[in-house]
Structure 1
Amino acid sequence: MSTQTNSLTYDLGGDLTINRLGYGAMQLTGFGVFGEVADRENAKKVLQAAVAGGVNFIDTAEAYGPKYNETLIAEALQPYASGLVIATKGGFNRPGPNKWVPNGDPKYIQENIEGSLQRLNVDTIDLWQLHRFDPKIPVEETLAPVAEAVKAGKIKYVGLSEVDVKQIEQAEKVVPIVSVQNLYNLGNRQWESVLDYTVERGMAFIPWFPLASGPDKLKDKIQQIAEAHQATTAQIALAWLLKRAPNILLIPGTSSIEHLQENLKAADIELSDEEFEQLSM
């Protein structure tokens, strides 16, 4: 497990330089990630504050709303700042709040891609991610329109979400993969082997739900380290991830400018090797 001091930037695909502390826009939606956000003007201000605070990597999805989140980002941030990378996803049906149904039908995937281009108002999607493998449809069929979109210049890079190593290798037979977005945080490291694989392969690893600070047995340790750094436990959880591996891109989400600014300050925290190891036990 890494304990090196890592750069705070990462070159996605080798050429898109990203500040590793980004922003996940999922919370800027209605209850259950469904429908319009309650306070649209506040949501726009949060997105604008993120970019003003140095964020140049924003993660969204067709399924967030659905659709509302992408249009919100375009409304809040256009004209887009130079170097801003917006990642989106496709491949989920949303029948209602908190309901997520994988849909890998090629026609649906193509609709997702074309819709995201329109809603984000871009000619090229910087990073398009397959939200989930659909067990009912071979991934080779699901990714066929994605590969076509890459050839057509509509997608620059492709990523996957919630996958194992075998699935990554399967997808790469259809289209190059530059990133993996899996559940991973200080308290849940079930995808440790996938993270290590992405490090070896030069792929980005984007933990979702990054702010979980660990099981109860870690609370005292986290609190002690947080106090030593005059930081919050959430900031320590993010700092641990930044130190864990140089390819980790963080996308903590919030609907509060105050919490956003708190999260961004995690980039200033440098855990010692000893602190890192204490939290990693």
Structure 2
Amino acid sequence: MKYRTLGQGLKVSAIGIGCMPMIKGGNILYGDQADPDEAIKTIHKAIDLGVTFFDTAQIYGPFSNEELVGEAIKGKRDGLVIATKFGFKIEGGVPVGADGSPENVKATAEGCLKRLGTDYIDLYYQHRVDPNVPIEETVGAMADLVKEGKIRHIGLSEAGPATLAKAAAEAPITALQSEYSLWERDVETDILPVCRDHGIGFVPYSPLGRGFLTGQIKSLNDLPENDWRRNDPRFDAKNFAANMKIVDVVSNIAAQHGLSNAQVALAWLLAQGEDIVPIPGTKRRVTMEDSIAAASVQLTQEDLDALAAAAPVGQTSGPRYGERGMAMVRL
């Protein structure tokens, strides 16, 4: 495994693991139900292969994903970088809106620590910016947690450029986690430059386009009825065929080099800068091993240019979320 450094000197494996798909049941389903035993074996195998960076969140389940990660890292905590996220009001097990209040920052941290079975959180993200709470107040409360030793690094997720700059003026920000992949490149225009101006590392989630870029999804019929992606506008029938043109180019390059589509898509992301650490979601050892092998893949400049040309910034067909989801990003 190769390693990279996010902001504030936080060293992590060049590819991390997005643990969200590992929950059984819960509020977000991708594909078939996860097998918790296989999910834990996947985390253990990843550790054996040199992965140090694992990502979860309060909202996944809610709560059950953090509990699973906590169980998996028991006795293996040393040397790992565990990231989790707060940022929502949760009532009756259902997220009901953003909450970036200092009170929620601190109360959620206590719950996360307990579920993860750890004394500290390596990287604590605000999952979504709360437009009703000044970012300085939210980040100030996170900085208090750093002083108390409960968290080691501050992160934001899906923050817009102005918010990022304000946050960085309040306290050191280690990482921004936002969607970034061949089919979602908008961060390149104004968000990545702000991150680099302030020494903030970038952690792309959904680096495989929610599985679309793997080439394994040929139509909506390949997804279970209750799969979250059936609500994704880019998977809608009117956008699906147009977006398959990106997959065709990824598939051709993969075939030329004896790689999987996932490895090509991840290698393209890694080539966008040493400050970029993608976290592909996985729940099985076989897909995890395939994805992390991308850390050693070096695409040619011709490959990189062909991929970029196939997926120009802003040209993917359809928005990346529905109306409610889009209202919560780039704030």
- Normalising by structure 1, what TM-score? 0.89
Shift of 1:14: 4.2
1:124 aligns with 2:152: no
Shift of 1:31: 4.1
Corresponding residue number in structure 1 for 2:223:
none
Shift of 1:41: 1.6
For residue 149 of structure 2, the aligned residue among 147, 150, 153 is: 153
Give a deviation string over 1:182-216, Cα, whole Å, max 9, x none: 11100111111212332343221011110023933
The code of the aligned residue for 1:90 comes to: F
Corresponding residue number in structure 2 for 1:4:
none
For residue 235 of structure 1, the aligned residue among 224, 240, 263 is: 263
Corresponding residue number in structure 1 for 2:207:
210
Percent identical residues: 37
Corresponding residue number in structure 1 for 2:129:
133
Query: Match of 1:182, SS?
Result: strand
1:190 aligns with 2:186: yes
The code of the aligned residue for 1:17 comes to: K
Paired residues for 1:73-152 under 5 Å: 73-94=69-90, 101-152=97-148
Q: Distance in 2 between matches of 1:95 and 1:238?
A: 36
Q: Which of 116-125 and 52-61 deviates more? A: 116-125
Give a deviation string over 1:37-59, Cα, whole Å, max 9, x none: 75322221121122122210001
Q: Distance in 2 between matches of 1:248 and 1:80?
A: 25
The code of the aligned residue for 1:234 comes to: A
For residue 250 of structure 1, the aligned residue among 267, 270, 278 is: 278
Q: Distance in 2 between matches of 1:246 and 1:163?
A: 21
- Normalising by structure 2, what TM-score? 0.76
Query: Match of 2:292, SS?
Result: helix
Q: Distance in 2 between matches of 1:19 and 1:155?
A: 19
Is this contact kept in 2: 1:199–1:245, CA < 8 A? no
Q: Distance in 2 between matches of 1:110 and 1:93?
A: 13
Corresponding residue number in structure 1 for 2:299:
271
1:26 aligns with 2:20: yes
Query: Match of 2:193, SS?
Result: helix
Shift of 1:96: 7.7
Q: Cα 1:259–1:95, aligned 2, differ >3 Å: closer, same or farther?
A: farther
The code of the aligned residue for 2:27 comes to: G
Is this contact kept in 2: 1:63–1:93, CA < 8 A? no
Query: Match of 2:124, SS?
Result: strand
Give a deviation string over 1:76-116, Cα, whole Å, max 9, x none: 12112532110111112345899562111221221111111
Structure 2 gap segments, 5+ residues each: 215-242, 310-331
Pairs aligned (count): 273
